[in-house]
Amino acid sequence: MSVHTKAFLDRTIAPPIKDAIEFELSLPPYRRQTLTNGVEVYAIDLGNVDAMMVSWIFNAGNSWETKKGVAAAVNHLLKNGTSNRSAFAINEHFEYYGAWLNRSSHHETADVTLHCLNKHIGELLPVVAELITDSIFPQEELDIYKKNAQQRLQVSLKKSDFVAGRLIDAYLYGPAHPYGVYMEQEDYQQLQRDDLVAFYKQQYLGGACRILIAGKLPADILDRLEASFGGLAIHAPEKNIALPAPAIIPAAQKKYNIVNDPNGVQGSIRIARNFPNRHHPDFQRVQVLNNVFGGFFGSRLMANIREEKGYTYGIYSYLVNNIQQSALVISTEAGKEVCAPAIAEVYKEMDLLREELIDEEELQMARNFAIGTILGDLDGPFHVASRWKNILLNGLDGRYFDEGVRIIKTIGPEELRELARKYLKPEDFFELVVV
Q: Using CA atoms, how far apart are residues 104 and 88, in angstroms rounded to an integer?
A: 20
Residue bearing the bigger pLDDT, 423 or 6: 423
Q: Using CA atoms, how far apart are residues 214 and 126, in angstroms rounded to an integer?
A: 18
| pLDDT range class, residue 4, cuts 50, 70, 90 | low
- Amino acid letter for position 63: S
| β-strands 430-434, 255-258 pairing | parallel
Query: In this structure, are residues 59 and 181 in contact, taking their beta carbons and an 8 Å threshold?
Result: no
Q: Using CA atoms, how far apart are residues 239 and 66, in angstroms rounded to an integer?
A: 22
Query: In this structure, are residues 136 and 194 in contact, taking their beta carbons and an 8 Å threshold?
Result: no
**pLDDT digits over 193-217, tens only?**
999 999 999 999 999 999 999 999 9
Q: Within 10 A of 341 (CB to CB), how many other CB atoms are there? A: 12
Average pLDDT over every residue of 167-189: 97
Q: Is the pLDDT of residue 233 over 60?
A: yes
Q: Is the pLDDT of residue 242 over 90?
A: no
What pLDDT, on a 0 to 100 scale, did the predictor assign at position 20? 65
Average pLDDT over every residue of 7-17: 77
Neighbouring-strand partners of residue 32: 42
| pLDDT range class, residue 13, cuts 50, 70, 90 | confident
Average pLDDT over every residue of 228-257: 88
Q: Using CA atoms, how far apart are residues 180 and 328, in angstroms rounded to an integer?
A: 15
Query: In this structure, are residues 93 and 128 in contact, taking their beta carbons and an 8 Å threshold?
Result: no
Residue spans of alpha helices (H) in 177-254: 185-189, 193-200, 221-229
Q: Is the pLDDT of residue 254 over 80?
A: yes
- What is the DSSP secondary-structure string of 201-217? IIIIIT-BEEEEEEES-
Report the chain's C-alpha Rg in angstroms. Answer: 25
Average pLDDT over every residue of 108-115: 97
Q: Using CA atoms, how far apart are residues 80 and 87, in angstroms rounded to an integer?
A: 4
| pLDDT range class, residue 251, cuts 50, 70, 90 | very high
Every domain range in the chain assigned CATH 3.30.830.10: 31-229, 255-434
Q: Using CA atoms, how far apart are residues 291 and 382, in angstroms rounded to an integer?
A: 25
What pLDDT, on a 0 to 100 scale, did the predictor assign at position 239? 79
Query: In this structure, are residues 243 and 287 in contact, taking their beta carbons and an 8 Å threshold?
Result: no
Question: What CATH number has the domain spanning 31-229?
Answer: 3.30.830.10
As a whole number, the mean pLDDT across the chain is 94
Query: In this structure, are residues 378 and 404 in contact, taking their beta carbons and an 8 Å threshold?
Result: no
Average pLDDT over every residue of 374-402: 94
Integer angstrom CA distances of residue 113 from 22, 138, 420: 35, 22, 39
| pLDDT range class, residue 244, cuts 50, 70, 90 | low
What pLDDT, on a 0 to 100 scale, did the predictor assign at position 18? 66
| β-strands 326-335, 255-258 pairing | unpaired
| pLDDT range class, residue 241, cuts 50, 70, 90 | low
**pLDDT digits over 311-352, tens only?**
999 999 999 999 999 999 999 999 999 999 999 999 999 999
Burial class, 97, CB count within 10 angstroms (exposed 0-12 / middle 13-18 / buried 19+): middle
Q: Which of 13-27, 162-176, 400-414 has the lowest mean pLDDT?
A: 13-27
Query: In this structure, are residues 344 and 353 in contact, taking their beta carbons and an 8 Å threshold?
Result: no
Average pLDDT over every residue of 234-257: 86
Q: Using CA atoms, how far apart are residues 57 and 137, in angstroms rounded to an integer?
A: 20
Query: In this structure, are residues 371 and 18 in contact, taking their beta carbons and an 8 Å threshold?
Result: no
Q: Using CA atoms, how far apart are residues 256 and 278, in angstroms rounded to an integer?
A: 29
| pLDDT range class, residue 7, cuts 50, 70, 90 | low
Q: Is the pLDDT of residue 47 over 80?
A: yes
What pLDDT, on a 0 to 100 scale, did the predictor assign at position 5? 53
Burial class, 291, CB count within 10 angstroms (exposed 0-12 / middle 13-18 / buried 19+): buried
At the topology level of CATH, where does 255-434 sit? Answer: Cytochrome Bc1 Complex; Chain A, domain 1 (3.30.830)
* Residue (of 93, 349, 57) closest to 207 by Cα position: 57
Average pLDDT over every residue of 276-289: 97
Q: Is the pLDDT of residue 246 over 90?
A: no
List strand residue ranges (DSSP E) for 106-218, in order.
Answer: 110-117, 209-215
Average pLDDT over every residue of 343-369: 96
**pLDDT digits over 135-147, tens only?**
999 999 999 999 9
